[in-house]
Structure 1
């Protein structure tokens, strides 16, 4: 009888301890995270709200990523407004670009380790949060030698500039590229890549009181010529053979600005449109089609990434860009870090963006 009572007592004690262990384990295996969430499309200032959730430790092929920095891009704003072609199901967390650190991994993860820095491996990732779990194939390791700010910007603008210069015209050293939006983030990267690859670059920018200061800035990055919208209408750069007529034009503005650039393209040249900041349509002169055989293409980095997700070409691009940044051949655009808790400042700046400033606002997700 005594032995039975002792056994029963021990059994109850063990069960009680196991229950406590499970409770402690559950507490350890959850983590409180903050995120910016929107449940409906609209004005980002109004529809975004800070929420708190708990997440489990990663299992299987999952990795847990602590997000560090995430730029606020115009596309992010358009997605929240419901004006972008690629939109996640609601409710959603915004943020397509950024850099994070792996802080835990599941038992079946291969090729990634705690402490690795990673970037998103696809669109609509939902980075404006402090932490989340992902399938390991959905993140891509990036060299820890790259500055954190630069790493946070790697997925969109550098890749856009790189692909537009590589994929449409077989450019050779000495060939000319003309672009509008020369002081935009992509525009500044185009200038620098042209310098690296020995192409000549002509950048068109909007006039402003400090225009010479801007021209000096872009020239210091490697621009061969910087012209205002008025100057590009009357330039003799190509007629007097100072530069070869451009084979490639890059357009992110649209409207009359783009039309003036088309007039300078060489016979058989191509204009690639990747944005429309003026919100005005692209008007194509008939003579450009009939007599100069000009072609017009569009480019969307999201589509390219989806098509080339696992390609060697994509890996080579990231490797090349990373090396350019590490070697200081590429510089990021001017930027400002904004603490996560002050996210409305970054959103407001992005909403008021008029193309005249090249400052990139980046959410510091560690400052929550």
Structure 2
């Protein structure tokens, strides 16, 4: 078997290791991986810039899908022989042919769904699902706004909102990305640029946003916030710029907007097991039905990890990069 190991803080310290000793603890399961994506958070973790710090040495990879082939003596035997997604707790790595995983960190998923789509289920679709459900009681016909609309989270937001009858206004940086989202069912897709605020107001035609989702932390969140109802919520879940969300002071104070941060790992740590299973089972069912999907631009074998990393950082990339096993 092969796995990618972080031997020291920094991406330069990623190495491939073969024939590792995989010993199951009492509560562990052994998963043979089918696919695992390359996510920005994986690089942040490797460089010591993430919300959890890397253990040295440790296997990298935050999420993935595979099949349970063995269980520890005191582990729940229910997943044995079944396909599972691995939750992104960073207690285990998924860039490996096989991984030892605490049994609490796997959820059984359907056999008839695309393995590549299931491999990407645990982070982005779950983030989109929770962002849409935690802060505002959205009703059919309501409008939400988001930047970074062509990201995997943004695409999942559009799919889930469309299913619920909620309308989406998405902001992207390029016209080709805008057309991609229109083809996916985005109600309004705007390209960032001059007079963005005016174009947002014109598209809403007197309406207001009920919720704004911020993944970019750039000036676009201010333009979206200007169209948010008074007392409304901006939920920040990432920062493409590496800075904090930029809300206009007048909107924040005089219209009493709420700025909320969201990190999926906090939910996984605190939510009851039944809730976690329910959410991921519902999302996996939507993947199996073709309701949820993300573009895959390329797949790589683990031996070609440097090429996979280079591809994942490619500007203007139109889909995810995955390892397949």
TM-score with structure 1 setting the length: 0.82
1:184 aligns with 2:151: yes
1:163-200 CA-to-partner distances (Å, cap 9, x unmatched) read: 00000111111110100001111111111111000001
CA RMSD for the aligned pairs? 2.1
Alpha-carbon deviation of 1:340?
1.0
SS of residue paired to 2:209: coil
Alignment of 1:29-178 (within 5 A): 33-42=1-10, 44=11, 46-55=12-21, 58=24, 60-124=26-90, 125-178=92-145
CA deviation string 1:329-366 (max 9, x = no partner): 2222233211111111111223x354x433100011x2
Which whole-Å CA distance do the structure 2 matches of 1:360 and 1:199 have between them?
A: 26
Once the two structures are superposed, the pairs formed by residues 321-360 of structure 1 within 5 Å of their partners are 321-350=283-312, 352-354=313-315, 356-360=316-320
Deviations 1:197-244 (A, max 9, x none): 00010000013xxx1x43332112111111011266243554675362
Match for residue 220 of structure 1 among 163, 177, 183? 183
Q: Give 5+ residue unaligned stretches, structure 1.
A: 1-32
Please say which structure displays the higher CA radius of gyration.
1
Residue 317 of structure 1 corresponds to 279
Bigger Cα displacement from structure 2, 144-153 vs 175-184: 144-153
Q: Find the aligned partners of 1:87 and 1:229 in 2 and give their Cα distance.
A: 34
Task: Please report the TM-score for the alignment, with normalisation by the length of structure 2.
Answer: 0.92
1:358–1:273 distance in 2 versus 1, CA, 3 Å: farther
Aligned residue-pair number: 324
Greater displacement, 175-184 / 243-252:
243-252
CA displacement at 1:59 relative to structure 2: 7.0
Offset, 1:290: 3.0
Distance 1:297 1:79, change over 3 A: same
Residue ranges of structure 2 left out of the alignment (5+ in a row):
none
- Alpha-carbon distance between aligned partners in 1 of 2:306 and 2:157, rounded to the nearest angstrom: 30
Question: Is 1:272–2:235 an aligned residue pair?
Answer: yes
Aligned to 1:246: 209
